[in-house]
Amino acid sequence: MRAFPRALLAGVMACCLAPAVMAAQHRLDGYWELRVPNPDGDGTFRDTYLQLRQSGGDVRGSLVRWHDALPLAGTLKNGVIEFATEPPASAPRWEQRPIVFHGAFSHGSLSLSMQDGDHTYSGVVMRATEAATEPPKPLPLPALQDLPDNGLARTPPMGWNSWNKFAGKIDDADVRAMADAMVASGMSKVGYTYINIDDTWELGRDAAGNIVPNRKFPDMKALADYVHSKGLKIGIYSSPGPKTCALYEGSFGHVRQDAETYASWGIDYLKYDLCTDLDVYPDDAPTLQAIYEEMGQALQATHRPIVYSLCEYGRGKVWSGWGEKSGGNLWRTTGDIEDTWKSMDAIGFSQIKIARYVKPGHWNDPDMLEIGNGGMTADEYRTHMSLWSLLAAPLIAGNDLRTMTEETRSILMNTEIIAIDQDPKFMPVTEVSHDGAIAVLMRPLHDGSVAVGLFNRGPVPATGTFSLASLPASFKGKQLSVRDLWQHAGVSLNNDSYATTVPTHGVVMLRITAR
């Protein structure tokens, strides 16, 4: 997906592109390269290219950053240059804001400052060639085959990932602290196991082509040992493309070598994010399958149990079979979640129709949790947790575990809801009714009971009603016991239904058992 560049840029800072040392050509026309240091103190750079054309006092061209080529326009008058990107209306939300450039062009030398929202960047401006902006040529991919099941993730994986809260601002100390907090909070006791490092840990490659972490992660093996010493497991992130979504070093051309490196560090989980591989290969299901199979094979060849998490945003209907064949234990089914009701509601409810494709070891992943990140109400976060559990989605917390409120803790650690997510006999959720803002979902559970969610998707409190006629035939004529899983208490039924007020964007979760 066009997930990146701007989203990460929005989280970073700095000041003024250093004056370019330039000569040779005295016209602006051509390609220019900006080497913008990543601001998180990790010693890496982001390469950004400008293609500029001068016509009288007008400047036109584009800002080229892998799959993004944003048109730009501006002026050059008396050596003063000013231009800005002109994002097309179809650009994703995070690319709608123009990036503004100011500077000087004289005697073939270009100096610029680049302003992206509140952030101004520093870097070096140099002449470049068109070839530098082009993705590498594709490498051969493996012939399609069905990889064996690796036996992992019999229930949806549970853990924590750095991206939603920290993006690029994550380092070794934070990851250790998150492992400590997962134990201290009691999360590890209720099933949360994986501590997953997302994008921005990479520096580049050594002379032998081995991936090297940047200075935020001085010793991955020691970090993995630490996480393991807490009784937890550790995950890492990469892309099959030349660059990750945040434009860090990807695994392109080094797939097997990277899998071996992860295994040697003691890694237990890999999130493999398509990103810039979309610029290298065609975007069709067989090609995607081959791309993911290559890493699936490489992970299996290490003989270390490594959960394999595919992240290609649901392209090529990954859930329909090829995700599993490529060795995947879980696969993202959508674009990136945001910490808003709109995003969570849209993603969550869009998943019901594909819930039946899930089975033990192979899960749909509607993206990581935003619970506790502050953009939604407690009722909305209860909906998030309930909906993800009914879907049997991975429960990967995305908040700062060190500073959780009691309320966040009570949502992430509701064992009665987690039990639905982790039900040992997977059966898919279905929508049993939809009346105005109220959606009623039901999922059969291994012990013959059912989980029922009454969701209020509207902006005002509403009455949610569950008709007992919707229960499976095995409930007919039996005495029923009903438990409210957020109130942690039994509730009583009316004759043939259960009706209650559901708060705005909230949920009432029931577990109904026939006695």
Can you give the binding site for ligand GLA, defined by CB under 6 A? 3-4, 163, 198-199, 244-246, 273, 311, 336
Residue 253 and residue 250: Cα distance in Å, rounded? Answer: 9
Residue 477 and residue 474: Cα distance in Å, rounded? Answer: 9
Question: Judged by CB, which is closer to ligand GLA: 167, or 298?
Answer: 167
Give the helix/strand (H/E) hosting 222: helix 220-229
Structure tokens at 407: 């309320």
Residue 273 CB, shortest distance to ligand GLA, in Å, is 5
DSSP line for 308-346: EEEESTTGGGGGGTHHHHTT-SEEE-SS---SSHHHHHH
Q: Which of 42, 199, 336, 339 is catalytic?
A: 336
Question: Judged by CB, which is closer to ligand GLA: 216, or 511?
Answer: 216
Q: Which residue type, as a one-letter code, is found at position 240?
A: P
Residue 282 and residue 277: Cα distance in Å, rounded? Answer: 9
Residue 243 CB, shortest distance to ligand GLA, in Å, is 10
- Counting every residue, how long is the chain? 515
Beta carbons of 437 and 495 less than 8 angstroms apart: no
**Known catalytic membership, residue 336:** yes
Q: Which of 171, 258, 273, 339 is catalytic?
A: 273
Residue 159 CB, shortest distance to ligand GLA, in Å, is 14
**Lateral strand order in the sheet of 119-121:** 119-121, 109-116, 99-106, 80-85, 68-77, 58-65, 45-55, 30-37, 124-128
Question: Judged by CB, which is closer to ligand GLA: 3, or 234?
Answer: 3
Question: Judged by CB, which is closer to ligand GLA: 220, or 452?
Answer: 220
Residue 181 CB, shortest distance to ligand GLA, in Å, is 21
Structure tokens at 192: 């949360």
First to last CA, the chain: 49
CA-based R_g, the chain, Å: 25
DSSP line for 105-145: EETTEEEEEEEETTEEE--EEEEE-HHHHSPPPPPP-PPP-
Question: Judged by CB, which is closer to ligand GLA: 4, or 32?
Answer: 4
Q: Could you give phi then psi for residue 507, rounded to 5 degrees?
A: -150, 150
Question: Judged by CB, which is closer to ligand GLA: 336, or 423?
Answer: 336
Question: Judged by CB, which is closer to ligand GLA: 4, or 121?
Answer: 4
Question: Judged by CB, which is closer to ligand GLA: 188, or 200?
Answer: 200
Residue 282 and residue 21: Cα distance in Å, rounded? Answer: 38
Residue 8 CB, shortest distance to ligand GLA, in Å, is 6
Beta carbons of 441 and 371 less than 8 angstroms apart: no
275, 281, 24: which is closest to 141 by C-alpha? 281
144, 196, 153, 163: which is closest to 330 by C-alpha? 153
Residue 321 CB, shortest distance to ligand GLA, in Å, is 22
Question: Judged by CB, which is closer to ligand GLA: 227, or 274?
Answer: 274
Residue 275 CB, shortest distance to ligand GLA, in Å, is 6
The sign of the CA dihedral 207, 210, 216, 222 is negative
C-beta neighbour count of 493 within 10 angstroms: 15
Structure tokens at 271: 């999130």
> Residue 501 forms beta bridges with which residues?
463
Residue 310 CB, shortest distance to ligand GLA, in Å, is 11
The conformation of residue 197, written as its DSSP 8-state character, comes to -
**Alpha helical stretches, state H, 306-449:** 322-325, 341-350, 378-390, 406-412, 415-421
Residue 266 CB, shortest distance to ligand GLA, in Å, is 21
Beta carbons of 351 and 337 less than 8 angstroms apart: no
Our measurement of the distance from residue 299's CA atom to the centroid of its chain's CA atoms, rounded to an integer in Å, reads 21
Q: Catalytic site residues? A: 273, 336
